[in-house]
Chains A and B, each alone.
Chain A
Amino acid sequence: MMNRGGYFQSALGGRMVASLTGLGLVGFVIFHMLGNLQIFEGGDALNGYASFLREMPILLWAARLGLLAVAVFHIATTVRLALRNRRARPVAYVVHQYRSASLASRTMALSGGLLLFFIVFHLLHLTAGLVDPSIPNRLDAQGHLDVYGKVIHAFQNPLYVAVYFAGQLVLGLHLSHAVSGSLQTLGLEHAALNRLFKTAGPAVAVLVVLGNLSIILAVFLGLIHT
């Protein structure tokens, strides 16, 4: 009965996989935001950082593939759980009131789905450069790929600013419930620490979103430019 396969096949085992992979993604999102903030140190810093990552192609691709695997696991598990949960109440209430559940907690599947759209868009736009052909793809004075120039170009356009703004709000919504929820799912609970665990989600969400938005706004308002 307690074979390992069965353990993760259970809905609770699935939730633990979703939480662990989700927290892995949270780690990446924080790291990514901190990396991005180097834009405030100027073009050389950001481009140097980007080329530093590219100088280790094996590590970079290992990290990318690892991240992709984690994301695929996260999405596959959560979609399975969400479908299961939908089946658990075939007849809806005529009148239903929530007493304590936050908006974020009730819309995890929606925010997750929108997030997937945003992530794909973001990769096509800034990593692959396929969305906006006018994005410059050149080298800077040091011979590094000019990531700085790309970012500046992208966020001078109000259309992309709007898309990224929306993407960040969805990310914030997803994270604000996800982090605290994951801690509970993994059994982390203690009378002395519960306040901390409860604030962890919203705090991480606000930090990540504000960090990323500050870049977009700084470019759009012309505070940083080429």
Chain B
Amino acid sequence: MKFTLKIWRQQGPNEKGGLATYEADEIGPDMSFLEMLDGVNQRLILAGEEPVAFEHDCREGICGSCSLVIDGVPHGPDRGITTCQLYMRRFSDGVTITIEPWRARAFPVIKDLVVDRSALDRVMRAGGYISVNTGGAVDGNAQLIGKEQAETAMDAASCIGCGACVAACKNASAMLFVAAKVSHLASLPQGKPERARRVTAMIEAMDDEGFGSCGNLYECEAVCPKSISVRFIATLNREYLRAGIVESGVPADPETPHAESD
């Protein structure tokens, strides 16, 4: 197969970027999108040009590293997959494909298609954990959890933190990400003691990182490689209301026990 690629090239965070056109020849239909890009890069290197920088790691849809907006949709035209799980047979032979990085103020471009997603890590650090004392590990089934509850927690916990929700959102909001993390922990007994502090701190951290707010457009759910439901955003909203109303008297400790220094 043969494709024309329009790829966003940007030398560095403060450089001006733009689309550059490349031809991708001799592409097999069973190549993944990233393998196709590897081929393009190989040719660029042989020609003495700078290869296109893009992120990837596991290449099997579990790490959340790959992050390309393909023809205007994060992770490309198929639903419920990451870019590394996308195959070239999905495209018609000879088409032009536009490839851009995730775009959000909170995700500054580092180079070409690579963006800095550490904002999501900082939101996690604000509250996406449970505090436990160290010591002997608790027995696996010491605390029984109902099937429904366990399934809900697992659905939310399937978030791989890729940031596609932010990339797709009209407002570059990280609500689906925060919703998944908050819902995951709030639906398990281990997460309950810190739930009010967690949701308030994570929402505040999301604001501080410059993400937008949720307008309920549900683009996030439509591009999420794990198809995480927007019902978790409603759960997050309830958690936030609860923190403000039910537990407004609870002193929130701003010194998070796991605060790290940068």
Chain A residues with CB under 8 Å of B250's CB are 2
Which of chain B's residues 176-217 have a Cβ closer than 8 Å to chain A? 196-197, 200-201, 203-204, 206-207, 210-217
Please judge, given known A-B contacts A2-B200, A92-B103, A187-B241, whether A85 and B98 are in contact too, CB under 8 Å. Answer: no
Which of B56-64, B132-140, B153-161, B166-174 is the interface stretch? B166-174
Residue of A whose beta carbon sits closest to that of B201: A1
Q: What total of chain A residues lie within 8 Å of the partner, measured CB to CB?
A: 44
Q: Which of A15, A84, A89, A96 has the most CB of B within 10 A?
A: A89
Pairwise interchain contact B216-A185, C-beta atoms closer than 8 A: yes
Partner of A13, one of B172, B218, B219, B244: B244
On chain B, the number of residues with a Cβ less than 8 Å from chain A's Cβ atoms is 55
CB distance B213 to A12 under 8 Å?
A: yes
Q: Does B73 contact A (CB under 8 A)?
A: yes
A120 is an interface residue with CB less than 8 A from chain B: no
B72 touches A85 (CB 8 A): no
Given A97-B71, A98-B219, A100-B218, residue A189 in contact with residue B231 (CB < 8 A) = yes
A4 in contact (CB, < 8 A): yes
Number of residue pairs across A and B with beta carbons under 8 Å? 140
Give min CB distance, A22 to chain B, whole Å.
12
Complex contacts, A187 vs chain B, CB 8 Å: 234-235, 237-238, 240-241
How far, in whole Å, are A87 and B211 apart by their CA atoms in the complex?
Answer: 9
Contacts of A81 in B (CB 8 A): 213
Distance (Å) between the CB of B78 and the closest chain A CB? Answer: 11
Residue contact A2 to B215, C-beta cutoff 8 Å: no
- Does A108 contact B215, Cβ atoms closer than 8 Å? yes
A143 on the B face (CB < 8 A): no
- Whether the Cβ atoms of B211 and A88 lie closer than 8 Å is yes
Which of the 9-residue segments A30-38, A44-52, A59-67, A176-184 touches chain B? A176-184
Q: Determine if A11 and B207 form an interchain contact, defined as CB atoms under 8 angstroms apart.
A: yes
